[in-house]
């Protein structure tokens, strides 16, 4: 049996691991358009959250299994078509994540100085698509959205070079941030303090920054007694923890540290202001009714130089793959896309949930695939990788295999250790292929 998994992030690797346990005879090929594996663990998880990244040790074991192959640097939809995959594999699983920034859909969003979180996170994490972004990040910065991605952005923009030194943020971003002078960061939510989706561990980190003080207007906070007791106990507790931290931030003074981080609630973006570049952000005050933001008709403006959106992502639509345009996900029924084709993770459900939630989702989809294989076993005749390798050779596509990645990994770790960092990522495909071909440390 031949199985293709598209995307080597957590979701794809959990599906692969689960299927390989039940079908040791199956050959599982894991494709990735990047030359490097691990998806958001490499390109999304904050570079100062090294503990979270330790999960790759588990993923390495999956990729080293005898019946699993990593096929990096192969883009489905460009190097290989979806139709070709279906004709050569018995099972195709799409785990391509969601990496396209959602749009606010407001006037001025196209101005210079507006960036999506995916672009900025990709830039500092060395994603090849965003390595050359060169964002304008000085002065006053508004971040729209109050999830953990917004907090990651604010924390990393506010950290000093010393605080970033033990992270694996790319050298180009550390240098750019060291030459940037940020004075104010606004993290803006369209709903209230108890509706924000960030979590207390991440909120707490904002209070421990060397150069940055988090500030909250106490009048925007509600009494913890107003948190609905109808909510599940864990959710009530999470909201109470957030509220307690926000109350402590309300006692901070603006003059305490050089960078001020303002948490602003009940404000919905109405327009980005400016002629060709951002000069401000107009917001409409909201009030929360039955958990929803309701417009009040009252507007105010923030004088800012940059606007970052951290409002979620859409998946990429690959030619031929059924796609739900409205939700920005692969059209599916609990993971089934069409006969022999499945999907898991953020491209199946939307951009929600941390790694354990995606693991649970992948295991559920793998169970579904195993059930389908039981009731309708493959009829045979597919050739899997053999045919695919021939097609890729014809198209002059260099496949980066797991042993190649091990060389890249060793080179990155060696370059990082030389400057006291966990790794210094190699961020362009030419340098990566140079390491693969020469087995030597490439220039970063």
**Residues in touch with ligand NAP (CB under 6 A):** 104, 144-150, 152, 189-191, 197, 202, 268-269, 310-312, 351-354
User: What's the farthest any 2 CA atoms get from each other in the chain?
Assistant: 71
Given a contact cutoff of 8 angstroms between Cβ atoms, the answer to whether 5 and 12 are in contact is yes
Alpha-carbon torsion, ordered 30, 31, 32, 37, to 10 deg: 30
Nearest residue to ligand NAP on Cβ basis:
147
Is the Cβ–Cβ distance between 8 and 70 less than 8 Å?
A: yes
User: What's the closest the beta carbon of residue 251 comes to ligand NAP, in angstroms?
Assistant: 24
Of 28 and 96, nearer to ligand NAP (C-beta) is 96
The kind and range of the H/E element at 403 are helix 402-417
442 touches 426 (CB < 8 A): yes
Tell me the three state secondary structure of residue 152: helix
Cβ proximity to ligand NAP: between 294 and 354 the closer is 354
- Between 210 and 354, whose beta carbon lies closer to ligand NAP? 354
Cβ-based nearer residue to ligand NAP, 282 or 336: 282
Residue closer to ligand NAP (CB basis): 359 or 385: 359
Q: Which is nearer to ligand NAP, 58 or 438 (CB)?
A: 58
What's the min distance (Å) between Cβ of 267 and ligand NAP?
9
Gap between the Cα atoms of 28 and 2, Å rounded: 6
With respect to ligand NAP, which residue has the nearer C-beta, 51 or 297? 51
The one-character DSSP state at 47 is T
Q: What does the alpha-carbon distance between residue 204 and residue 214 come to, in Å, rounded to a whole number?
A: 10
Closest separation in Å from C-beta 99 to ligand NAP: 11
Angle (deg, nearest 10), helices 56-63 and 10-22:
40
DSSP strands (E only) in 55-138: 68-72, 91-94, 100-101, 114-116
Residue 184 CB, nearest distance to ligand NAP (Å)?
19
Joined tokens for residue 131: 């390595």
Scan for tokens 């796609």, then name that residue. 323
> Are the CB atoms for 264 and 189 separated by under 8 Å?
yes
């Amino acid at each position: 049996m031949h199985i293709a998994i598209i995307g080597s992030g957590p979701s794809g690797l959990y599906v692969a691991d689960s299927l390989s346990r039940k079908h040791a005879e199956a050959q599982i090929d894991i494709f990735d358009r990047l030359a490097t594996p691990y998806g958001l663990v490499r390109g999304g998880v904050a570079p100062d959250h090294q503990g979270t990244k330790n999960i790759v040790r588990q993923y390495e074991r999956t990729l080293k299994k005898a019946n699993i192959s990593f096929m990096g640097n192969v883009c489905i939809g460009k190097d290989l078509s979806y139709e070709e995959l279906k004709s050569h594999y018995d099972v195709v699983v799409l785990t391509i994540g969601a990496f396209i920034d959602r749009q606010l859909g407001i006037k001025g969003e196209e101005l210079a100085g507006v960036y999506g979180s995916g672009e900025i996170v990709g830039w500092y994490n060395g994603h090849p698509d965003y390595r050359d972004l060169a964002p304008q990040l000085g002065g006053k910065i508004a971040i729209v959205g109050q999830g953990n991605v917004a907090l990651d952005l604010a924390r990393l923009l506010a950290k000093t070079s010393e605080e970033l030194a033990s992270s694996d943020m790319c050298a180009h971003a550390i240098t750019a941030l060291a030459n940037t002078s940020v004075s104010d960061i606004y993290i803006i939510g369209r709903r209230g303090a108890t509706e924000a989706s960030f979590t207390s561990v991440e909120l707490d980190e904002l209070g421990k920054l060397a150069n940055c003080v988090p500030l909250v207007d106490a009048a925007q906070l509600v009494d913890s007694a107003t948190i609905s007791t109808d909510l599940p106990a864990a959710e009530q507790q999470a909201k109470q923890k957030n509220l307690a931290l926000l109350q402590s931030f309300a006692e901070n003074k603006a003059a305490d540290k050089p960078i001020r981080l303002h948490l602003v609630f009940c404000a919905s973006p109405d327009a980005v202001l400016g002629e060709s570049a951002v000069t401000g952000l107009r917001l409409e005050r909201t009030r929360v009714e039955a958990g929803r933001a309701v417009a009040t008709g009252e507007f105010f403006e923030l004088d800012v130089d940059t606007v970052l959106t951290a409002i979620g992502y859409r998946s990429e639509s690959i030619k031929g793959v059924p796609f739900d345009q409205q939700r920005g996900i692969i059209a599916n029924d609990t993971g089934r896309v069409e006969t022999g084709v499945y999907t898991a993770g953020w491209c199946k459900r939307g951009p929600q949930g941390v790694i354990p939630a995606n693991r649970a989702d992948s295991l559920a989809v793998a169970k579904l695939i195993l059930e389908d294989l039981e009731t309708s076993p493959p009829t045979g005749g597919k050739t899997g990788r053999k045919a695919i390798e021939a097609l890729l050779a014809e198209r002059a596509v260099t496949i980066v295999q797991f042993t190649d990645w091990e060389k890249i990994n060793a080179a990155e770790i060696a370059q990082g250790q030389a400057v006291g960092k966990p790794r210094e990522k190699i961020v362009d495909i030419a340098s990566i292929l140079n390491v693969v071909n020469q087995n030597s440390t490439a220039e970063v």
